[in-house]
Amino acid sequence: MAPLFIIGTVVLASVLSSTTASSVWTLNCAPLTQARLDPILAPGVWPSGHVHAAVGSTAFGQQMNGTYGALQGNATTCDKFTDHSSYWAPQLYHMRSDGLFDLLPFTGMAAYYENYTCDYNASAPGWCVGTRNPRAFPPGLKMLAGNSLRRTQNMSDPWQQAILLESGNNGEVYGMPPKLDGNQLSGHVRFPSCWDGSNLDSPDHQSHVAYPDASLGGNTQGGMCPSSHPVALINIGAEFGFALNGVTDPASLVFANGDTTGYGFHGDFYMGWENTTALRDSFAECFTNDNCPWRAFGSPTGRDPVATAMSPMVQPPYEDIGLNGPIAKLPGNNPVYSA
Ligand SMILES: *[C@@H]1O[C@H](CO)[C@@H](O)[C@H](O)[C@H]1NC(C)=O
Ligand SMILES: *[C@@H]1O[C@H](CO)[C@@H](O)[C@H](O)[C@H]1NC(C)=O
Ligand SMILES: *[C@@H]1O[C@H](CO)[C@@H](O)[C@H](O)[C@H]1NC(C)=O
Ligand SMILES: *[C@@H]1O[C@H](CO)[C@@H](O)[C@H](O)[C@H]1NC(C)=O
Ligand SMILES: *[C@@H]1O[C@H](CO)[C@@H](O)[C@H](O)[C@H]1NC(C)=O
Ligand SMILES: *[C@@H]1O[C@H](CO)[C@@H](O)[C@H](O)[C@H]1NC(C)=O
């Protein structure tokens, strides 16, 4: 998985080539759990509507208590030890010819943390070359990118442009890739990088955040924030990986929500960085210096940080989601979508 820039526009490419310092660094996270849990959309509820694959804070569970819930985790599966955020997305399944479903192995998440967005500036509306100023996420921020119910693609809508899939090195596409390659499928979620400056969440878990304003040259990965959501945040480009175990037919893949189109892929972020000062400072270092000091802070032993699989502190009730062999129905009996 390589840092992924942009589809169908030259704007960002020209910005990138004009900067010498790196504008991206990578967070690597091992799997935490796969379960019918959704602490943003269904807090306190088990089971939630469909199986999610989660990484990050060991606090992930049906009940993530209080505003700072993700922070209550005593550890993280991510290689940056001070990141106790939670990240989750729908689990992938294979529909077998005998009608059963195989759960395909979740391999973890890579997230690109990107310095591409700037605050809204009424006196200089337009692309923000040289003035990108994303800030660390406010403690307790929650957000949802994508829509589990979507089965079509509207290319004018940034919320829909933010969800892509990729198999092997065939490039990112909207919806299920036409060809599977490399024995791997990853679901990509570009989180919104503009914030209203006050709300940590909203009833739809989306309207407190936004994408950079297309009318000001922005896109899902960067640019100037709209006046409605003027505060620039770090861009997160998250990639959730699944092993295909030899599956070659994309028409035989289905996400846990019953989506066979891939348009209904989505991702959730629950901010749990331990120290926003450190996050911001580390950013300045990591964006300018490949040898950034993650090795020193965030790693109490001073050793290289390594993504490590763990179990959640609070285990959800047991349910057979297919970890030990094929299952007859998608957990929750979600119907498989057919056009
Ligand atoms: C959240 O609160 C519930 C109820 O008090 C408790 O059972 C659970 O262990 C708490 N979870 C965490 C992660 O602290
Ligand atoms: C807004 O743009 C103006 C004009 O380019 C510039 O002088 C000013 O510093 C910018 N403000 C901020 C907060 O970046
Ligand atoms: C982000 O990039 C801008 C250049 O557009 C740079 O001035 C700023 O220092 C960078 N921010 C961080 C935290 O590295
Ligand atoms: C597509 O998205 C744009 C931008 O959000 C919206 O204005 C338009 O109504 C949408 N079209 C359809 C057919 O939903
Ligand atoms: C947060 O990180 C900064 C920079 O590493 C450090 O100076 C500060 O002591 C930390 N604060 C806490 C509460 O850990
Ligand atoms: C975190 O808590 C779990 C269960 O409460 C425990 O098994 C585990 O060892 C703890 N991990 C750390 C790093 O303290």
Instruction: Quote the CA–CA distance of 34 and 74 in Å, as a whole number.
Output: 19
The answer to whether the CB of 157 is under 6 A from ligand 4 is: yes
Q: Considering the domain boundaries, does residue 160 fall inside one?
A: yes
For 113, the token pair is 């943390």
The answer to whether the CB of 251 is under 6 A from ligand 2 is: no
Q: Considering the domain boundaries, does residue 123 fall inside one?
A: no
Query: What separation in angstroms does the CA of 265 have from each of 82, 159, 306, 333?
Result: 28, 12, 27, 18
Distance 224 CA to ligand 2 centre (A): 12
The answer to whether the CB of 124 is under 6 A from ligand 2 is: yes
Angle among Cα 111, 114, 120 to the nearest 5 degrees reads 135
Residue whose CB lies within 8 A of the most ligand 3 atoms, among 132, 277, 292, for a mutation test: 132
Q: Considering the domain boundaries, does residue 121 fall inside one?
A: no
The answer to whether the CB of 154 is under 6 A from ligand 4 is: yes
Instruction: Quote the CA–CA distance of 128 and 222 in Å, as a whole number.
Output: 9
What domain count does the chain have? 1
**Max Cα–Cα distance, the chain, nearest Å:** 63
The answer to whether the CB of 280 is under 6 A from ligand 5 is: no
Instruction: Quote the CA–CA distance of 234 and 280 in Å, as a whole number.
Output: 10
Q: Considering the domain boundaries, does residue 8 fall inside one?
A: yes
Q: Considering the domain boundaries, does residue 263 fall inside one?
A: yes
The answer to whether the CB of 156 is under 6 A from ligand 4 is: yes
Query: CB of 89 within 8 A of CB of 315?
Result: no
Distance 228 CA to ligand 6 centre (A): 42
| pLDDT of amino acid 308 | 93
- Best CA proximity match to 87, nearest among 50, 57, 66, 123: 57
Q: Considering the domain boundaries, does residue 44 fall inside one?
A: yes
The answer to whether the CB of 276 is under 6 A from ligand 5 is: no
Query: What separation in angstroms does the CA of 235 have from each of 58, 83, 287, 325?
Result: 23, 15, 13, 37
The answer to whether the CB of 125 is under 6 A from ligand 2 is: no
Instruction: Quote the CA–CA distance of 240 and 88 in Å, as a whole number.
Output: 8
Residues 169-193: b if buried by 16+ CB within 10 A, e if exposed: eeebbbbbbeebeeebbbbbbbbbb
Instruction: Please report which ligand is nearest the Cα atom of 275.
Output: 5
Question: Which ligand 1 atom is at minimum distance from the Cα of 65?
Answer: 1
Distance 132 CA to ligand 3 centre (A): 6
Residue whose CB lies within 8 A of the most ligand 6 atoms, among 74, 81, 82, 306, for a mutation test: 74
* Helix (H), strand (E) at residue 286: helix 276-288
Q: Considering the domain boundaries, does residue 187 fall inside one?
A: yes
Residue 60: give the domain boundaries: 1-111+141-193+232-317
- The per-residue pLDDT string of the chain (339 residues; one tens digit each, 9 = 90 and over) reads 333 333 322 233 333 333 445 678 888 999 999 999 999 999 999 999 999 999 999 999 998 887 779 999 999 999 888 889 999 999 999 999 999 999 999 999 999 998 899 999 999 888 886 688 899 999 999 999 999 999 999 999 999 999 999 998 889 999 999 999 989 999 999 999 999 999 999 999 999 999 999 999 999 999 999 999 999 999 999 999 999 999 999 999 999 999 999 999 999 999 999 888 877 776 766 666 555 655 545 666 666 678 999 999 999 999 999 999 999 999 999 999 998
Instruction: Quote the CA–CA distance of 65 and 37 in Å, as a whole number.
Output: 14
Distance 123 CA to ligand 2 centre (A): 6
Distance 73 CA to ligand 6 centre (A): 9
Tell me 139's DSSP state: T
Residue whose CB lies within 8 A of the most ligand 2 atoms, among 118, 119, 121, for a mutation test: 121
- The residue contributing the CA closest to ligand 1 atom 5 is 65
| pLDDT of amino acid 26 | 85
Q: Considering the domain boundaries, does residue 284 fall inside one?
A: yes
For 34, the token pair is 């796969």
